[in-house]
Amino acid sequence: MAKSATTFVCQSCGASSSKWSGRCEACGEWNTIVEEKPLSQGPSKKSLGAMRGRAIPLTDLSTKEAPPPRTASKLDELDRVLGGGLVPASAVLVGGDPGIGKSTLLLQAAAAFAKAGLKVIYISGEEASAQVRLRAQRLNLTDAPVKLATETSLRDILTTLDEEEPDLAIVDSIQTMWADNVDSAPGSVSQVRAAAHELTTFAKSRGSAVIMVGHVTKDGQIAGPRVVEHMVDTVLYFEGERGHQFRILRSVKNRFGPADEIGVFEMTGGGLSEVTNPSALFLSERGQPAPGSVVFSGIEGTRPVMVEFQALVSPSPHSQPRRSVVGWDGSRLAMILAVLESRCGIPFAGLDVYLNVAGGMRVNEPAADLAVAAALLSAREDTSLPAETVVFGEISLSGALRPVSQTENRLKEAQKLGFSKAIIPTGGKATATKDMALTRMGDLTTFVGEVFGAG
C-alpha cells in the first residue's frame, strides 16, 4: 500500500499520472511530463464521516441589493469582450503567445480603468519597474494613477493587496509567481495552480477584480494557463499572426457575458489602438476580384465581421499533395475537399491546396464552408466570382447547403461595406432588398453548376 509521495504532471495540459513517460497520454505532447510534489496529500482519515462540519447559511435567489456595477474602461473593444465592463470580484485570465502584446494591452487597460475611477495596482513579475515605466512613457500613459510593483513572491503580493485594497489588481504573469509553500519551480503546474487559486480566492473574498496574464507556449518548461481556466470567471485569448499588426482579443469563457466575443486591435508604434470597424480593415487590401478570393460574411460573438478567404490550387510535384491552412480548421478543409470530390465529381488529387484567411484573422464557424468551397473552386477553375459578392452557408456531408444563424445581420454588414450580391443556402430568414440581390441554392452541385458552369 506504499504510495509514492510524488506525481508526474504534464506541464502542457496538467494531467497527472503515477509514472513518467515521454509522451503525455492526455494531450499527446512530448517531453512535457515532470515530477512534482502533490499540492496536498489529502485528508489523513479515510472518510469525511469522522467529523461533522458546520452548517452553512442558505439564502434565496431573490435579493433587494442591486448587483455591483460594472466599470467600463472606455476601451470599447475591451469592454465588449468582458461582457460590458469589468465585474467587481471577478478573476480574469488573459492568455497568449509571448510577445503578442499582453503586457501592452494590460498596461493600457490599467490606465483606462484607473482613469475611470478604479484603484489599480499593476504587479509585474517579468519586467523591472523601469521597463514598465518606459513602456508607459511610450504609450503616453504616465499621468494615469496606476500603482506599480515588481514582485514574484505570492505571499508578499497577497499581503500588499490585502493592505492596499485595490479595485483591480493586474498580475503579469502567473508563470512568474512563486508560492513558498509549494515545493516546485516557478512556472510549474503546481505553482501556477497555487497562484491562480490564491489570487482567485482573494478576488472573491475581498471584492477586488484580478486580471492574470498567462503565457501559452509549447515549451515544456512553462505551464500553459489551461490548467487554471476552470478556476477563473473569464478567459480571454489575445491572438494574432506575428507578421500582421492586427491583434484579436477573444473571450473563450465568460461567466458574466457572451463567450466568443472578439475585440480587434492594431499594434502601432504607440501601443494598441482600437479597430472599431474590423470588416473594413480585413477587406482593405482588396482590389479587383481575383481567382481564389472569396469574401465571407461571418459572425464573431455578437458582431458581424467580414473576411476574405484566399485559395491557391496548383499541380503537386509530391506523391502526397500538400494541404496547407492558415486561419481555418485543417480537418474541415479536408471534409470540404472530400464533399467536392465525391458529391460534385471535382477531384483535387494531385493538386496542392493552400487556404488562407487574409489579415491574420481566425475563422471557426462552419458557416464559412461555402466560402471555402467557392475559394477552392475559383482557384481551381481560375475564374473569379462576380464582383461585390459575399458567400456563406454550411455544407453537410451529403453536399446539401444548410442555412446558418443571423443571416440578416450578415447581409446587413455586407451591404454596409458596399456588397450588392449574396450567394446563400435556401431556407433561413432573409429578404432581398434593392441593394442586396440574393441567390439561394439548395446544394453544392447546383452552386458549382451555376457559378462555375462545371460539375
Interacting residues with Mg ion (CB under 5 A) = 103
Nearest to 219, CA basis, from 111, 98, 112 = 98
Q: Does 101 bind ligand TYD (CB under 6 A)?
A: yes
Shortest Å distance, C-beta 103 to Mg ion: 3
Backbone angles phi, psi at 165, to 5 degrees: 50, 60
* Angle CA 201–207–209, to nearest 5: 80
Q: Name, in order, each residue with C-beta under 8 angstroms of 58's C-beta and a sequence gap of 6 or more.
A: none
Candidate list 33, 80, 102, 237; residue touching ligand TYD; CB under 6 A: 102
Bridge-based pairing of strands 293-300 and 303-315 is antiparallel
Shortest Å distance, C-beta 217 to ligand TYD: 11
Candidate list 138, 204, 303, 323; residue touching ligand TYD; CB under 6 A: 138
Looking at beta carbons only, is 95 or 327 nearer to ligand TYD?
95
Candidate list 99, 287, 315, 453; residue touching ligand TYD; CB under 6 A: 99
Question: What crossing angle do the helices spanning 129-138 and 102-115 adopt, rounded to 10°?
Answer: 70
Near ligand TYD in 24-43, by CB under 6 A: none
CA distance 394 to 324: 21
Cell digits for 392? 456563406
From the list ligand TYD, Mg ion, none, pick the one residue 301 interacts with, judged by a Cβ distance below 5 to 8 Å according to partner type: none
From the list ligand TYD, Mg ion, none, pick the one residue 267 interacts with, judged by a Cβ distance below 5 to 8 Å according to partner type: ligand TYD
Amino acid at 182: V
What DSSP assignment string belongs to 264-328?
EEEEETTEEEE-S-HHHHHTTT--S--TTEEEEEEEETTEEEEEEEEEEEEE-SSSS--EEEESS
Shortest Å distance, C-beta 103 to ligand TYD: 3
Shortest Å distance, C-beta 1 to Mg ion: 47
**Segment interacting with ligand TYD, rule: CB under 6 A, options 15-23, 48-56, 57-65, 95-103:** 95-103
CA distance 2 to 51: 26
**Segment interacting with ligand TYD, rule: CB under 6 A, options 100-108, 203-211, 299-307, 396-404:** 100-108
From the list Mg ion, ligand TYD, none, pick the one residue 253 interacts with, judged by a Cβ distance below 5 to 8 Å according to partner type: none
Torsion of CA 372, 239, 195, 145, to 10 degrees: -150
Looking at beta carbons only, is 12 or 103 nearer to Mg ion?
103
- Hey, is 10 helix, strand or coil? strand
> How many chain residues touch ligand TYD (CB under 6 A)?
15
Cβ atoms of residues 367 and 394 within 8 Å: yes
Q: Does 250 bind ligand TYD (CB under 6 A)?
A: no
Q: Does 98 bind ligand TYD (CB under 6 A)?
A: yes
Candidate list 135, 206, 253, 416; residue touching ligand TYD; CB under 6 A: 135
**β-sheet bridge partners, residue 62:** none
From the list ligand TYD, Mg ion, none, pick the one residue 310 interacts with, judged by a Cβ distance below 5 to 8 Å according to partner type: none
Amino acid at 240: G
Bridge-based pairing of strands 323-326 and 351-357 is parallel
Q: Does 103 bind ligand TYD (CB under 6 A)?
A: yes
Q: Does 223 bind ligand TYD (CB under 6 A)?
A: no
**Segment interacting with ligand TYD, rule: CB under 6 A, options 63-71, 155-163, 199-207, 269-277:** 269-277
Q: Does 266 bind ligand TYD (CB under 6 A)?
A: no
**Segment interacting with ligand TYD, rule: CB under 6 A, options 39-47, 92-100, 158-166, 178-186:** 92-100
Distance of CA 236 to the CA centre of its chain: 6
From the list Mg ion, ligand TYD, none, pick the one residue 188 interacts with, judged by a Cβ distance below 5 to 8 Å according to partner type: none
Shortest Å distance, C-beta 152 to Mg ion: 14
Q: Does 243 bind ligand TYD (CB under 6 A)?
A: no
Shortest Å distance, C-beta 255 to ligand TYD: 24
Q: Does 455 bind ligand TYD (CB under 6 A)?
A: no
Residue with CB nearest Mg ion? Answer: 103
Candidate list 49, 243, 269, 453; residue touching ligand TYD; CB under 6 A: 269
CA distance 110 to 104: 10
Tally of CB atoms within 10 A around 20: 10
Q: Does 104 bind ligand TYD (CB under 6 A)?
A: yes
Q: Name, in order, each residue with C-beta under 8 angstroms of 333's C-beta and a sequence gap of 6 or more.
A: 323, 325, 353, 355, 372
CA distance 103 to 126: 10
Shortest Å distance, C-beta 96 to Mg ion: 9
Binding site for ligand TYD (CB under 6 A): 96, 98-104, 135, 138-139, 267, 269-271
